[in-house]
């Protein structure tokens, strides 16, 4: 059987669909990568050292295509190894380190994902001498001015916003004129226009990569027609690769839609799951950062090892949360759409859509945080009465994945594209997630207002740089009913007393105390230090 026939057989076996002229045959094994395709042994050894034994379907086809320096648009399910699919050919082309400026650039929509890709790139580049850098913060000279990005990095990973900031500096702090590979991960997200998208930044970066040798590759788990059209118009002799049926949810994730009546029913539904036994690690998606904070406040008093990540938290706090979740010190991670794409947490067993996602695309990416690398996973989505009119598409998606769906959801009238776009931009307004009695909420609000008024009379507390962002150390000096300790935020140190809690564990994990500038909520982790969560 010829190579082409074998290739066709492999494509059929793995539901690999290709479009384009002279598409090279897929590679069934890593031995083929180092043999027939000439990939450096070091890179293939690094794949095996990462615990990979054979290429995933998208890697089987995308690697040979990019090794021929063909431009590519690839669409493959969440968790199917798209990152290594583009890193292997890019690292192969970079060959050895050269102080010739950035020769490969990878774009991702979030700092967390950019960090993760850079880590994977460094892992696969082990032993090659190639230098990888994630552009997540400016390196500054002694006088505080941002320093130009060193020419010594071969591969850069960045978010579009970060890169535009460096390109717009006077003089520019980075040059893209030597880029030979521009890879756009989560391409449909980066193509989105408007404030939630990056289309304008992407266009500027695309134009700045003006080397005659530049090649582009776009990857995503969801297929957008406008991206497809753009590639056909702007890329040279582009190859399109897709795995399985486009825009479907991962078929290794068991999906469940749970009707909760009203918003307040969601907390009961979650606590019901907890009582049955929460399969952690678990990720909970909510609609906004305010709701993320509210839900955190509720769950931390339930004795759950929970944390929260959203755009209002500092990069250090976000990094600490990701590290704690990866290390198993946090079992439940509450997040917004920020973490909905690409983030690869090994072994996430359960994803809960506490709030329904604004689109089927968002749904596919969110539940794709579980069921990765072929491992099984579960996704539970809470929907209230007000969600029902928008449930048709997601209900059909769940049904097509082979999961049970109530008939009435499948018969909900179809929404127009305009209405669907409107919902993505202006999500449903939801009541607050707060079981604190209204009297107490009002009391806390009054205290905050009073403290804010008091603060106005004091010099601004610059030493702690404003609110939040400090470390609390609580000593175990229990005297009677009180637990004494100290709070150090920046240079400011204050004594605190906290309520005794019947469950010592909860007391140490979630202590609320009144402080002279605001209410703070924080929790102590294992070594009794804690990070102030927020004002």
Ligand X SMILES: Nc1ncnc2c1ncn2[C@@H]1O[C@H](COP(=O)(O)OP(=O)(O)OP(=O)(O)O)[C@@H](O)[C@H]1O
Which residues of the chain form contacts with ligand X (CB under 6 A)? 52, 55-56, 59, 76, 78-84, 221, 342, 344, 346, 368, 372-373
Q: Does residue 335 contact residue 359 with C-beta atoms inside 8 Å?
A: no
Between residues 339 and 510, which has the closer beta carbon with respect to ligand X? 339
**What is the C-alpha end-to-end distance of the chain, expressed in Å?**
68
Measured on CA atoms in the order 163, 158, 68, 175, is the torsion positive or negative? positive
Check: CB of residue 473 under 8 Å from CB of residue 486: yes
CB of 328 to ligand X, least distance (A): 16
Q: Residue 381 and residue 364: Cα distance in Å, rounded?
A: 12
Nearer to ligand X, 228 or 263 (CB): 228
Are the beta carbons of 294 and 435 closer than 8 angstroms? no
Under 8 Å between Cβ of 401 and 255:
yes
482-489 and 478-479 strand pairing: antiparallel
Q: Based on CB atoms, which residue is closest to ligand X, 188 or 294? A: 188
Residue with smaller CB distance to ligand X, 118 or 166? 118
Q: What is the DSSP string of 389-403?
A: GG-HHHHHHHHHTT-
Nearest approach, Cβ of residue 280 and ligand X (Å): 18
Is the Cβ of residue 59 or residue 255 nearer to ligand X in the bound state? 59
Minimum distance, C-beta of residue 48 to ligand X, in the bound complex (Å): 10
Least separation in angstroms between residue 426's CB and ligand X is: 26
Closer CB to ligand X, residue 73 or residue 76?
A: 76
CA distance 298 to 436: 9
Shortest distance (Å) from residue 78 CB to ligand X: 4
Please state the closest distance from residue 11 (CB atom) to ligand X, in A. 17
Among residues 28 and 273, whose Cβ is nearest to ligand X?
28
Rounded to 5 degrees, φ, ψ at 132 are -115, 140
Secondary structure (DSSP) of 59-100: HHHHHHHHHTT--EEEE--TTS-HHHHHHHHHHHHH-S--SS
Q: Looking at beta carbons only, is 165 or 345 nearer to ligand X? A: 345
Distances, alpha carbon 78 to alpha carbons 11, 220, 368, in Å: 19, 8, 5
Minimum gap (Å) between residue 362 Cβ and ligand X: 13
CB of 443 to ligand X, least distance (A): 44
């Amino acid at each position: 059987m010829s190579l082409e026939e074998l290739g066709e057989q492999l494509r059929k076996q793995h539901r690999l669909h290709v479009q384009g002229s002279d598409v090279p045959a897929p590679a069934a094994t890593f031995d083929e990568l180092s043999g027939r395709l000439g990939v450096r042994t070091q890179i293939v050894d690094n794949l095996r050292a990462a615990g990979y034994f054979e290429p995933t379907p998208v890697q089987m086809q995308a690697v040979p295509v990019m090794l021929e320096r063909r431009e590519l648009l690839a669409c493959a399910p969440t968790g199917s190894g798209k990152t290594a699919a583009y890193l292997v050919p890019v690292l192969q082309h970079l060959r050895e380190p050269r102080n010739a400026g950035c020769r490969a650039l990878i774009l991702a929509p979030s700092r967390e994902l950019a960090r993760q890709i850079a880590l994977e790139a460094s892992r696969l580049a082990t032993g090659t001498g190639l230098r990888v850098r994630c552009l997540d913060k400016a390196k500054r000279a002694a006088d505080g001015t941002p320093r130009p990005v060193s020419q010594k990095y071969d591969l850069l990973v960045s978010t579009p916003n970060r890169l535009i900031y460096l390109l717009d500096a006077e003089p520019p702090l980075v040059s893209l004129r030597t880029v030979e590979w521009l890879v756009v991960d989560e391409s449909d997200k980066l193509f989105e226009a408007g404030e939630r998208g990056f289309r304008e930044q992407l266009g500027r970066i695309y134009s700045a990569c003006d080397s005659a040798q530049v090649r582009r590759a776009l990857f995503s788990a969801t297929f957008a027609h406008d991206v497809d059209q753009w590639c056909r118009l702007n890329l040279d002799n582009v190859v399109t690769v897709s795995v399985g049926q486009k825009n479907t949810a991962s078929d290794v994730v068991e999906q469940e839609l749970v009707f909760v009546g009203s918003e307040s029913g969601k907390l009961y539904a979650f606590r019901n799951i907890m009582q049955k036994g929460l399969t952690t690690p678990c990720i909970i998606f909510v609609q906004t950062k305010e709701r993320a904070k509210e839900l955190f406040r509720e769950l931390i008093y339930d004795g759950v090892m929970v944390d929260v990540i959203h755009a209002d938290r500092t990069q250090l706090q976000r990094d600490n949360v990701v590290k704690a979740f990866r290390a198993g010190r946090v079992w439940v991670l509450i997040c917004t759409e920020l973490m909905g794409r690409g983030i690869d947490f090994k072994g996430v067993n359960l994803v809960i859509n506490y709030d329904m996602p604004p689109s089927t695309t968002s749904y596919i990416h969110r539940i794709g945080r579980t069921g990765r690398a072929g491992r099984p996973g579960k996704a539970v989505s809470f929907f209230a009465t007000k969600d029902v009119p928008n449930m048709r598409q997601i209900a059909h998606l769940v049904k097509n994945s082979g999961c049970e769906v109530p008939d009435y959801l499948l018969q909900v009238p179809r929404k127009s594209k305009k209405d669907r776009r409107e919902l993505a931009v202006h999500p449903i307004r939801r009541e607050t997630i707060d079981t604190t009695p209204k009297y107490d909420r009002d009391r806390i609000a009054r205290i905050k207002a009073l403290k804010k008024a008091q603060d106005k009379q004091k010099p601004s507390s610059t030493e702690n740089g404003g609110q939040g962002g400090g470390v609390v150390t609580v000593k175990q000096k229990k005297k009677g009913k009180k637990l004494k300790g100290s709070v150090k935020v920046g240079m400011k140190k204050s004594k605190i007393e906290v309520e005794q809690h019947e469950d010592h564990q909860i007391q140490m994990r979630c202590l609320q105390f009144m402080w002279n500038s605001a209410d703070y909520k924080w929790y102590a982790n294992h070594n009794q230090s804690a990070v102030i969560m927020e004002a």
